[in-house]
Amino acid sequence: MSTEEEKLIETAMNQLAFSYAPYSDFKVGAAIETMDGEIYGGCNIENAAFGPGNCAERTAIFKAVSEGKRHFKRIAIVGGKAGCVRDYCPPCGVCRQVMREFCSPNFQIILAKNSKDYKVMTLNELFPESFGPDQLA
């Protein structure tokens, strides 16, 4: 594993501490890397009304976009009950759609249990035949 991947996964793991998940107790951390090497972290944020909550992946993406970043290289995602990561934590459908808005089909999604146990997939593998900005061009 490269030092960059390890740093990205560790950033995602560190985001678990900031997760606000009082209802599900399922904590998720994410870290997205821009094409110029900047890293933005995110955690899931639940809400008593459920719908207004936000996933870790979208939190990281929205943080980056709100600071002018629009081009991304990869994202690392970790998660588990009570913040204990035991298995891979793939992004939900809404997060995949948001990734499709800002990322290429070859965008890398790193699903990690820790910095040594992970797998890398592309957005196209997780979200084939997706609807995106190019359909509206």
0.85 exceeded by pTM: yes
The whole-number pLDDT of residue 15 equals: 98
* Beta carbons of 10 and 118 less than 8 angstroms apart: no
What is the separation of C-alpha 19 from the centre of its chain, rounded to a whole number of angstroms? 13
Residue 4 has a CB neighbour count (10 Å cut-off) of 13
Question: CB-based burial of residue 129 (10 Å sphere; 0-12 exposed, 13-18 middle, 19+ buried)?
Answer: exposed
* DSSP-derived secondary structure letter, 39: E
Q: pLDDT tens, 78-108?
A: 999 999 999 999 999 999 999 999 999 999 9
Residues with active-site annotation: 57
